[in-house]
Amino acid sequence: MNSTSTNNSFPLASRPPNPFVDPKSLLYFTVFLLLTNAFGTVANILLLLAIAIHRPLRKTVSHILIAHCLVLDLASTIVSVPASVVQVYLPPHLPAYFCRYEGLLVYGVNMAISWATTVIALQRLAAALLHRHFKTFMTTRGFLRAMLLFPWLVTAILVVFTTTETGLKIARLGAGNCVIVSASNSSTPVFVYTVFSRYLPTVLDGVSYLVVLTKTCGDLRRRPGSHSLQRRLELSRMLFLSFLWRCCTVYPSTVAISFFPAEYARNFAAQMATAFLWFSFGAIDPIFFWASSRLFQRGVKEVLSHGKRYFCCGAPDNRRIVPAPASHYTTRHIT
């Protein structure tokens, strides 16, 4: 497997010029993809507002990390996807540094999303297996900051290697897209990048959620009336569905390129399908959050209710708001 196809994250453009490409179909694909991501932008904003407004969501121990993932999904829909799609229509003779820096908008955000979801999975695993120690050490502000910074640390390492072209570089291929390739004749750097950006995070996610769901279901059988266990199961199930969706967006192009390279190169419809999956993760991910979590359903309902009152009746008069007693604001994090 050559170094350019090992990490093919944009199936439409990282191929050589394809005689099977239909420009009209490509235009329709681009419009549909951008509309999907416009929907995803609104959906991610709604979920972020739900976390900010709905108190039961804010009481969950993972709410800040979930909000972090939603912010990254929002960055993907607003920045990464438009930046990737527009490359196909840009002039072929661009400055040499164009891909070196522009590609970071795509690969940097994608790497951060991969590891941000893994951080949540590991946090849920720790909450399920090390409950007492989790409350003592892993809910502190310092530990939370470390969990938020870790995905960006991994992303920064990628930025250093690609911008300095040490082992890896971001190059513009014949069809127009900027992709990560090896800076030498060896495919090892790209393979290592693929392992750390794709395989390792998804393996950690899958193992963590399987352990968490198995243990939580067992605990619920012994304590069927536990509210905290029911909330843990609901959030873990929601995040597990998000993980499955990520696998569906990441791996189809990898399987097609690895096992059916010739057929895939000739099948433009298959390339469009895998490209749509790859680029629609951040746009469709909020649907799984909303559909599988009553917390988010109630939160979105509360956001829309506030919005309706604001636009129909005007902004509320803050002078008429009577603050609740201090005891009302005492919260207990629910894992």
Residue type, 320: R
pLDDT at 221 over 70: yes
Assess if residue 330 is contained within a domain.
no
Assess if residue 320 is contained within a domain.
no
DSSP state string for 212-252: HHHHHHHHHHH-TT-HHHHHHHHHHHHHHHHHHHHHHHHHH
Distance of alpha carbon 159 from alpha carbon 169, whole angstroms: 10
Domain count, the chain: 1
Bigger pLDDT: 99 vs 221: 221
Assess if residue 62 is contained within a domain.
yes
Instruction: Say what the pLDDT of residue 98 is.
Output: 74
Assess if residue 325 is contained within a domain.
no
Assess if residue 327 is contained within a domain.
no
Tens-place pLDDT, residues 269-293: 888 898 899 899 999 999 999 999 9
Instruction: Say what the pLDDT of residue 106 is.
Output: 82
Which of the given ranges, 57-61, 137-141, 238-242, has the highest pLDDT on average?
238-242
Query: What are the structure tokens assigned to 278, written together?
Result: 């790859």
From start to end of 102-196, where are the E strands?
168-172, 178-182
Q: Which residues contact 153 (CB under 8 A, 6 or more apart)?
A: none
Query: What are the structure tokens assigned to 258, written together?
Result: 């690895």
Residue found under tokens 């495919």? 187
What CATH number has the domain bearing residue 295?
A: 1.20.1070.10
Helices 227-259 + 281-292 axis angle, to 10: 150
pLDDT at 141 over 50: yes
Cβ(240)–Cβ(209) below 8 Å = yes
Instruction: Say what the pLDDT of residue 153 is.
Output: 93
Instruction: Say what the pLDDT of residue 322 is.
Output: 46
Residue found under tokens 């359903």? 297
Query: What are the structure tokens assigned to 144, written together?
Result: 């939370």
Assess if residue 295 is contained within a domain.
yes
Instruction: Say what the pLDDT of residue 17 is.
Output: 46
Distance of alpha carbon 307 from alpha carbon 48, whole angstroms: 14
Instruction: Say what the pLDDT of residue 23 is.
Output: 79
Distance of alpha carbon 299 from alpha carbon 48, whole angstroms: 10
Query: What are the structure tokens assigned to 77, written together?
Result: 């829909």
SS3 60: strand
Q: What is the mean pLDDT of the chain?
A: 82
Assess if residue 229 is contained within a domain.
yes
Q: Residue 173: which domain range?
A: 3-315
Tens-place pLDDT, residues 113-129: 999 999 999 999 988 88
Assess if residue 326 is contained within a domain.
no
Mean pLDDT of 68-81: 94
